[in-house]
Chains A and B, each alone.
Chain A
Amino acid sequence: MSGSAMTIGSREHSAAGLGVYPVVRRNSLLIIAATLAVAAYLAYVFVAFDVAGLIAKAQPMRATLLATDAVAHKVHVTKFFRGDTQTVVAVEGERTATYATPPDWVRIADNTTAVDLGGGYRVEIKDRQLVMETPDFGPIRATVTGRGVVTQLPEGQSAPEWLRATAAKFDARPTIGRRVQMSRTRVEVHRYFGGWENFFFPFRSELTAYSPMEILRLAFSPERLQADTPNWKLIGHTFWTNPDWQHGHVFIALLETFLMAILGTATAGLVGLPLAVLAASNFTPSQILRLAVRRLFDLLRGIDMLIWSLIFIRSFGLGPLTGALAIAFTDTGSLGKLFSEALEGVNKQQMEGVRATGANRWQFYRFGVIPQIIPVFISQCLYYLESNVRSATIIGALGAGGIGLMLVETMNTQRDWENTLYLIVLTIGLVMVMDTLSGKLRRRLIQGR
């Protein structure tokens, strides 16, 4: 942007200023052109990715359902028409969470089941017919006949938008938290309640009945619930092995992810540093060696974590070792490069001062070099550790295991969103804790010790 079109030697304003306006205009045209280029590229990408079509096909309902399901749980009331026709009431329809005596909003008498969904919504199931009552709509009847499910609306009314009735299935969802389904074989009524059900102890456990304070008191009480184990052990074990939430497995998965990140980063740092010395021009006279090490760094980084993970999954199987090695290989390249740049920037005077004392090679590094390089070393390692906790979740999802894989699996089953949310919260928690810790350490390091 320096002056190109200036009339040299002239002090006349008209002459000196001659080329100025074109330059000012060119500058602004350049800025406009750059903005337009970015906009054009984004437009191209939006067309290439078919964003419009995607939005049209998006299922925002899924997001609502997912959000509801993630913070609430539902209780299923199921009645089968064939075989055992008994009405079953179970949390999330799980066999292991079946009520022995139904809750008070479900009444079962002979062959009639009455379900009170609250807010004026009621369902009565008798034989093969159900009657659904809503506050602002007359009673709806659905009957299973030889031709399938027959739905009868109140006289003169057309079907509401929350009802889908075909011969195969009757599906009414007047509100997010209430749903009635009927097929040829069964009726299923869902009622939603807020909160995560049975988070601490499984449904069947005797501990479910106690309040948190009582649990605390029990833990220290000498009166044993089970003769052969102390209470605190029983409580811990019941929590740890809770089949719905699998706290134990989740913890192990988190540990695996954490291990991947910390082992990978530590290895990369410890291997990268000596290699960096070989790549730094002021420590390694041999140009061939230097170039070779630098290319090695480029190669390690260039192959990328994705490919390293795939290779290691093949040879080492699933698990934290695989993830740790993938991180270690990639980041040896990244950290090695950074360290070698830092080494090339070290202060010569301090090094010379140490050399002048007749220090041997070990002392030379120990006192002339290490003190200068250690802050860079630690702060970069911490920085990479932070980002590697995130990377480790992704590598895990590729198949290396840990919390990432667990997350993909629970998400793929698309059933228990509360479990998914639990995993998400834990993962973000882990990332945030690591971020905060490493941020604190780095700040302390920079501000001097």
Chain B
Amino acid sequence: MTADTIQLEIIAMEKRRKLYSTIGILLMIAVLASGYGLASSMNSGSFLNGLEKFFDYPGEIVREAWEAGSGFFALVLQFLPALIETLNIAGAATLVGGAAAVVLAFLGSSNLGVKPPVIISVVRRIMDSMRAFPELIIALFLIFILGSSPVPAMIAVAFHTAGALGKLFSEVNENADAAPIEGLESCGANWLQRMRYGVLPQVLPNFLSYFMLRFEINVRASAILGFVGAGGIGTELRRTIGWGRGAGDETAALFFLLILSIFAIDQLSSFMRQRLVSGKAGS
């Protein structure tokens, strides 16, 4: 494209598009504004009142934490086991769900010679429905049957992870180069061996990258599920917040731990993903 044609194009399109985009943007703002209006009217507290109080709560817990002085660090240490429990929920769920996802993904990819082919579509349906189940529902249901414990959260998160990662993994699989697989087939390798050597080395870096991303998401999910009785840092938070005033320093310690660990995992996972995708891993 030369500068001239672009110039012409700009002039021609601008008149038309300027109008469209203005209308589009106005429409979007109108939808958002009315949405917020509706949301605000449904809320028990009002928006403007809340705005004033927005910093009250964070201020309050920071002040109480400040007043606790060095005791604050003792609190942080005291809640470390809760954090570890949350991390374990996420870690175990990501590993178990990730393993299930690998199995599902290999059975649900159309280019890997899965026989009979009906398995592929069945497995895909299974992955879709696993993804659709909100973690909350499975967790609540299992808490009812198993009692309050980290295990329901772990199962719930793992279940969802299997579906979500399975779908991403199978997309990676379907982009895999067929030549190595064919090469192994011509040697008389069986299906598992073809997957292990023909596909896995190609897809592993992407798998690991998605896995790290999912671990980060799952730490957040595990913390939240604690709030409905699944243990870990969420359960501690519900306890300290439920006490109302006075437990601000404990709440602050929990917030501090959670923010710190999510921040660390976030940084670690984006660092590792960058390395993996830039192609430094073999198998």
- Nearest B residue to A63, CB-CB: B145
25 A–B contacts from the bound complex (CB under 8 Å): A41-B92, A41-B95, A45-B91, A49-B154, A50-B149, A54-B146, A58-B146, A66-B145, A266-B35, A301-B266, A305-B224, A311-B54, A315-B56, A320-B38, A354-B6, A357-B3, A367-B6, A367-B13, A390-B135, A393-B137, A394-B136, A397-B140, A407-B136, A428-B132, A431-B134
Contact call B35/A259, Cβ cutoff below 8 A: yes
Chain B at the A interface: mostly helix, strand, loop or mixed? helix
Within 8 A of A (CB), among B227-283: 227-228, 234, 237, 241, 255, 258-259, 262-263, 266-267, 282
**Assembled-state Cα–Cα distance A354/B57 (Å):** 49
Contact call A428/B137, Cβ cutoff below 8 A: yes
Is A140 close to B, CB under 8 A?
A: no
Q: A41-B91, A51-B151, A307-B255 are in contact. Are A411 and B140 (CB under 8 A)?
A: yes
Instruction: Return the contact of A306 from the options B57, B135, B227, B282 (Cβ within 8 A).
Output: B227
Is A419 close to B, CB under 8 A?
A: no
Contact call B132/A319, Cβ cutoff below 8 A: no
Instruction: Return the contact of B137 from the options A259, A398, A427 (Cβ within 8 A).
Output: A427
**Assembled-state Cα–Cα distance A411/B140 (Å):** 8
A residues less than 8 Å from B241 (CB atoms): 310
Pairs A-B, 6 closest by C-beta atoms: A317-B45, A319-B43, A317-B44, A316-B50, A302-B263, A321-B43
Chain B window 39-56, contacts with chain A (Cβ cutoff 8 Å), 1 for yes, 0 for no? 110111111001101101
Contact call A428/B133, Cβ cutoff below 8 A: yes
Q: A49-B150, A304-B258, A319-B45 are in contact. Are A356 and B3 (CB under 8 A)?
A: yes
A residues less than 8 Å from B42 (CB atoms): 252, 256, 259, 319-321, 401
Q: Size of chain B's interface in residues, with CB distance under 8 A?
A: 72
Instruction: Return the contact of B43 from the options A41, A302, A320, A395 (Cβ within 8 A).
Output: A320
**Assembled-state Cα–Cα distance A46/B92 (Å):** 9
Count how many pairs of residues, one from A and one from B, have CB atoms less than 8 Å apart in the complex.
Answer: 201
Contact call B147/A54, Cβ cutoff below 8 A: yes
How far apart are A325's CB and chain B's nearest CB, in angstroms?
Answer: 9
**Assembled-state Cα–Cα distance A57/B38 (Å):** 46
**Assembled-state Cα–Cα distance A390/B38 (Å):** 21
Is A303 close to B, CB under 8 A?
A: yes
B residues less than 8 Å from A414 (CB atoms): 144
Chain B window 157-192, contacts with chain A (Cβ cutoff 8 Å), 1 for yes, 0 for no? 000000000000000000000000000000000000
**Assembled-state Cα–Cα distance A79/B135 (Å):** 43
- Nearest A residue to B217, CB-CB: A387
How far apart are A365's CB and chain B's nearest CB, in angstroms?
Answer: 12
Which residues from chain B sit less than 8 Å from chain A, CB to CB? Answer: 1, 3, 6-7, 10, 13-14, 17, 21, 28, 31-32, 35-36, 38-40, 42-47, 50-51, 53-54, 56-58, 85, 88, 91-92, 95-96, 128, 131-137, 140-141, 144-147, 149-151, 154, 220-221, 223-225, 227-228, 234, 237, 241, 255, 258-259, 262-263, 266-267, 282
B residues less than 8 Å from A395 (CB atoms): 224
How far apart are B163's CB and chain A's nearest CB, in angstroms?
Answer: 11
Contact call A49/B151, Cβ cutoff below 8 A: yes
Contact call B258/A1, Cβ cutoff below 8 A: no
How far apart are B200's CB and chain A's nearest CB, in angstroms?
Answer: 11
A301-B266, A302-B263 provided; 18 other pairs, C-beta below 8 A? A41-B91, A45-B91, A49-B88, A60-B145, A252-B42, A259-B42, A263-B35, A304-B258, A310-B237, A312-B50, A316-B43, A319-B42, A320-B39, A353-B3, A354-B6, A356-B6, A367-B13, A408-B228
How far apart are A281's CB and chain B's nearest CB, in angstroms?
Answer: 15
Report the interface size class on chain A.
Answer: 35 or more
A residues less than 8 Å from B92 (CB atoms): 41-42, 45-46, 49
Contact call A428/B263, Cβ cutoff below 8 A: no
A residues less than 8 Å from B85 (CB atoms): 48
A residues less than 8 Å from B132 (CB atoms): 428, 431-432, 435
**Assembled-state Cα–Cα distance A362/B95 (Å):** 48
Is A38 close to B, CB under 8 A?
A: yes
B residues less than 8 Å from A41 (CB atoms): 91-92, 95
A residues less than 8 Å from B154 (CB atoms): 45, 49
Q: A267-B32, A302-B259, A304-B220 are in contact. Are A315 and B266 (CB under 8 A)?
A: no
B residues less than 8 Å from A428 (CB atoms): 132-134, 137
Contact call B259/A303, Cβ cutoff below 8 A: yes
A residues less than 8 Å from B141 (CB atoms): 411
Instruction: Return the contact of A398 from the options B21, B36, B140, B224 (Cβ within 8 A).
Output: B224
Within 8 A of B (CB), among A405-424: 407-408, 411, 414, 424
Q: A58-B145, A363-B10, A398-B224 are in contact. Are A407 and B43 (CB under 8 A)?
A: no
Is A286 close to B, CB under 8 A?
A: no
Q: A49-B154, A267-B32, A306-B223 are in contact. Are A315 and B136 (CB under 8 A)?
A: no
How far apart are B59's CB and chain A's nearest CB, in angstroms?
Answer: 11
A residues less than 8 Å from B31 (CB atoms): 266
